[in-house]
Amino acid sequence: MTVALFRVDERLIHGQVVVGWGRRLRPRRVIVVHDGIAASVAEQEIYRSGLPAGIDAQFWSESAAVEWLPEIMESDEPAFVLTEDLPTMWRLAAGGVPIAEVNVGGLHAAPGRERVLPYVCLGAEDVRRIRDLEAAGVRVTAQDVPTAAPVRLLERAAG
**Residue 116 backbone zone (phi > 0: left; psi -120 to 50: alpha; other: beta):** alpha
Q: What pTM does this model have?
A: 0.92
Question: How do residues 31-74 score in pLDDT, each as one tens digit?
Answer: 999 999 999 999 999 999 988 888 999 999 999 999 999 887 88
Question: How do residues 91-116 score in pLDDT, each as one tens digit?
Answer: 999 999 999 999 999 899 999 999 99
CATH superfamily of 3-158: Phosphotransferase system, sorbose subfamily IIB component (3.40.35.10)
Residue type, 50: G
Residue 156 to residue 98: CA distance in whole angstroms: 25
Domain boundaries, the chain: 3-158
Q: Are 150 and 103 in contact (CB under 8 A)?
A: yes
